[in-house]
Amino acid sequence: MQEEDFHRQIVMELTLGRPLPSLWAKVISEAKGDKAYAKALYLRYRMDSLKALHTSSPDHPPLSNVTLKRNYHLYLLIGTILVLSIFASCMVLL
């Protein structure tokens, strides 16, 4: 898996609001509640962990572009459903 693929995965985690809970707690603590700084820290730490994981198990084949695109579309669909459900909830309250 290339660094660009790692970056894409991390951005999806943050965009969908699904970062690793333990790592997110660590970076929020280090950033003293500053979410922008916490996201930057999360990106750095998560990139380091993905690189370490990839180099420690070279026998794992990299994800194919088809798999990455399928995952991307799945995350996009989940995100869209989430946004629509929030919108519907707000409309019910009005």
pLDDT at 46 exceeding the cut of 60: yes
pTM of model > 0.75: no
| Distance (Å, whole) CA 84 – CA 87 | 5
CA distance 19 to 92: 29
pLDDT band at 32 (very low <50, low <70, confident <90, very high): very high
Average pLDDT, the chain: 82
Residue 58 pLDDT exceeds 60: no
- Nearest CA-CA partner of 49 in 88, 10, 17, 89: 10
Can you list the pairs that 32-39 forms with residues at least 24 positions away whose Cβ atoms lie under 8 Å? 39/14
Angle formed by the axes of helices 3-15 and 35-56, nearest 10°: 140
pLDDT digits (tens, 9 = 90+) for 3-25: 888 888 888 888 888 888 999 99
